[in-house]
Chain A
Amino acid sequence: MKKKLLATVLTFAMVASVLTGCSNAKTENKNTSDSGATPTAASESKEDLSGTLTFTIWDNNLNTFIEENDMVAKFQKQYPNIDIEVEKIKDDSEYWNAMKMRASANQLPDIMFNKPFTLSRFKDYLVDLSGTEASANNELANGYAVNGKVLGIPMTAGYEYVYYWKDMFKEAGATVPKTWTEFEEVTKKLQDYYGSKDKDFMALACGLKDEWPDYPFMEFMPALESGNGQNWNTMAAQDNPFAEGTDINKAYHKIYDLFTSGVLGKDPLGLGNDQVTSLFAAKKASMIALGDWGLQNIKSGAEDVSQLGTFYLPTRNSESDPYNVIVQGDSFMGVTTHSKHQEAAIAFVEWFYSDAWYPDYINYVSSASSMTNFPKDKDPILAESDTLCPDKKLIMYDGGGDNFSAIQNETTFDYKKLGAQMLTNDFNLESTLKDLDDRWKAAREKLQIK
């Protein structure tokens, strides 16, 4: 009898707690839907905002900084009723796979990051942040607006560099190149000089086993060649963008000639980015092309960086041509439409880009600041490239819009894989570009893109 009584009491307790939970959820949802649409509704006191936010990231440096500086506790000093769950995903490739699956299951995190090339893909799932203070203070956010909506606030401004060892250059009698021809000559000179002593030497380290490390060449050089950051979008409006004389055709011929000249070492397809970065740090390679984020990895692997220098990849044909340099917004922090606490999520974005958090973070990483209210001096190693190139012309890179993405998927055009394929035995650049042109035209027809 006692057991039955206990069971009955427990059952009532369970049902009551479930019903209470449901009613709370309803109230909470109602609150967020009422107020979440307007990001400027900051008049509400910070204590009124509540909920648990999922913040999904892939960046190792950001993850380390969050853990070391107890981001959640700092945030909760201002917003005591909002909890943050930081979810770290292995790398950005896995990140996009996970986000795609979650998007289809209506389970995107409250706060997610995007790259320039994923903004248009997730545009239907991102809240407009154009009314936020963070957006107003960000120098790149408006440049990446989709249909007038700021869907993400870039965390950093990304620049691309060629890292090199000055002492190795000096010993081989090489100087910092200013044109593409000079760059080719310098790489050959270094390969001949050091390669004769060490068969494993690489004048230019590029871990093509991973394919993506060729992005400074395969992804950015068409835009650098044309001086048009919207190059992919321009191509999406053409039937034969790979034909002879086009910017991408010229750029890929330059890359092909460089990659197949032996300056990448004896087997670049057999090495990944981690391996070549370590080899570069150990001076088994004289140059490596990476973003500003690469500096931390090089520093952690090198014994001494006093001889480490940088210059911008010179893709121009002559010194009279403009010295084009890529700049892009990176890691666009956005709030998703799947978030049940959109206002709290927007409050987090505002806090992240405020002086309570952002200045310390941006000084921790090697990347440049994207916020006008928190300018950051470049690391002296990275600043050297600006000294060497005072006349640079910044090209704001766009990762490609809807039309480009649709054609790219239809034609299976993978520029990073193409760079690695250039080093395979039976690769023929002319026939590959011709084939791409044919597929491009057919895809435009099929997708009815004008």
Chain B
Amino acid sequence: MTKLNKKRKWFIAISLVVPMLLLVGFVVIPAFDLFRMSFTNWDGYSKNSDFIGISNYISMLHNKDLWLSLGNNAVYFFVHLLMIPIELMFAVLLNSRLRAAKFYKTMVFLPYIINGVAISYAFSYFFSPINGAFDSVLELLHLGNLSRDWLSDNRIVNYVLSSVSVWRFSGYHVVLFMAALQSIPKDIEEAAMVDGARAWHLFKYIQIPAIMLMVDFVLFDNIRGALQVFDIPFVMTSGGPGYASSTFTLYTIKTAFSFSNFGLASTMAMAIMIMIVAIYFTQNTIIHGLILRDRRK
């Protein structure tokens, strides 16, 4: 074995071992510990805890505030899901020969790179009932009668927060779609155009199938993001009024730190992991098994 080969093998081994050790140390072992804690009544600061079987799992299923919080997560999920086709259209548009496309790309991506907490603070003042910019805009447009208690009416608060989330994350999805669209070989599209394909045909028969992997990823990211949403409701409403805008993660943190029930909070964390995997597989089955079934034939 030459010296170079030996060095290369060492490099590959270290490159594999170091991330594996980090993964095991910081993800796998904590995950197992989380699973263990979900069967205890640990309060977060006592030295000891008792094994209480599946009591936490039963308690979690009977917690109506938690279910309310999970329902609020669903609002984020569906609002973002509805936005995905629009994001896809934006990506196609920005990928075409549009004037000032670079400027639009930057503008679309900008909200994603701004700190989430800063965005949340800015929007909480934007929707403030006194001296709030949004109400002022409505007044300016003579639409003052549409003014509402944007952050305190429990019937609309989750949609307001979801709209902030859409504002922040849509640009990220658009950029992902654009990257996927740019990876499609140009000659395929040109050949289709020579054969008489129009923009819609290109989109439906070439672009969408070619970027399906990215669509899958964005859908997964939507599930994960919707179930783990935290910073926007935490800063803008603290989950209130009451639990009207609380989310699963927010409630889990409250359970751990406000009610000193780390055992139950661990159970909730396990539940969120299971839910993400279950919803992803369900979604995948629906998309690949039903929607794309005909295309495979």
Contacts and interface: CB of A to CB of B under 8 A. Distances in A.
Interface residues of B, number: 31
Contacts of B123: none
B15 to A, nearest CB: 26
A100 B152 contact: no
A104 interface: yes
Interface stretch (B87-95, B186-194, B255-263, B287-295): B255-263
Interface in B38-54: 43-47
Interface string A120-142: 01101100000000000000000
Contact of A101 (B44, B151, B255): B44
A425 B260 contact: no
15 contacts: A97-B257, A121-B45, A122-B45, A125-B45, A208-B241, A209-B238, A210-B238, A266-B149, A270-B129, A270-B151, A279-B130, A284-B130, A405-B260, A424-B244, A425-B154
Contact of B153 (A103, A272, A405, A425): A425
B242 interface: yes
Contacts of A425: 153-155
B170 interface: no
B240 A100 contact: no
A104 B48 CA distance: 10
Nearest to A414: B258
Contacts of B243: 417
A271 B259 CA distance: 25
B240 A420 contact: yes
A63 interface: no
Interface in A387-445: 405, 408-409, 412, 414, 417, 420-421, 423-427
A269 interface: yes
Contacts of A125: 45
Contacts of B237: 209
A210 B257 CA distance: 17
B259 A421 contact: no
Most buried by B among A125, A270, A425: A270
B128 interface: yes
A427 B244 CA distance: 12
Interface in A192-214: 200, 208-211
Nearest to A108: B45
Interface in B236-269: 237-238, 240-244, 255, 257-261
Interface in B216-245: 237-238, 240-244
A121 B260 contact: yes
A270 B238 CA distance: 11
Contacts of B255: 412
B76 interface: no
A210 to B, nearest CB: 7
A8 interface: no
Interface of A: 96-97, 99-101, 103-104, 121-122, 124-125, 200, 208-211, 266-272, 275, 279, 284, 405, 408-409, 412, 414, 417, 420-421, 423-427
B242 A270 contact: no
Contact of B242 (A101, A408, A417): A417
B43 A409 contact: yes
Nearest to A268: B152
Contacts of A208: 240-241
Nearest to B238: A211
B240 A269 contact: yes
A423 B258 CA distance: 22
A97 B261 CA distance: 12
A412 B151 CA distance: 24
Nearest to A276: B130
B238 A409 contact: no
Nearest to B236: A209
Q: Which 8 A-B pairs have the closest CB atoms?
A: A269-B152, A267-B129, A421-B242, A103-B45, A270-B129, A409-B259, A270-B152, A267-B149
Given A211-B240, A270-B128, A420-B241, 19 more contacts: A97-B257, A99-B45, A100-B44, A103-B44, A104-B45, A124-B46, A124-B47, A200-B130, A209-B151, A209-B240, A268-B152, A271-B129, A271-B130, A272-B124, A420-B242, A421-B241, A423-B152, A423-B241, A426-B154
A255 B128 CA distance: 25
Contacts of A270: 127-129, 149-152
A124 B240 CA distance: 34
Given A121-B260, A275-B128, A269 B149 contact: yes
Given A409-B261, A424-B154, A425-B155, A417 B128 contact: no
A309 B234 CA distance: 35
A230 to B, nearest CB: 21
Contacts of A99: 45
Nearest to B65: A412
A317 B149 CA distance: 34
Most buried by B among A269, A275, A423, A427: A269
A441 B237 CA distance: 31
Contacts of B130: 200, 267, 271, 275, 279, 284
A211 B241 CA distance: 8
Contacts of B244: 424
Nearest to A199: B130
Contacts of B259: 408-409, 412
A167 B131 CA distance: 24
Nearest to B64: A435
B241 A266 contact: no
Interface in B140-158: 149-155
Interface in B46-76: 46-47, 65
A434 to B, nearest CB: 15
A122 B150 CA distance: 40
A100 B259 CA distance: 12
Contact of A104 (B44, B124, B128, B151): B44
Nearest to B151: A270
A421 B46 CA distance: 32
Interface in B152-190: 152-155
Contacts of A272: 124
B45 A100 contact: yes
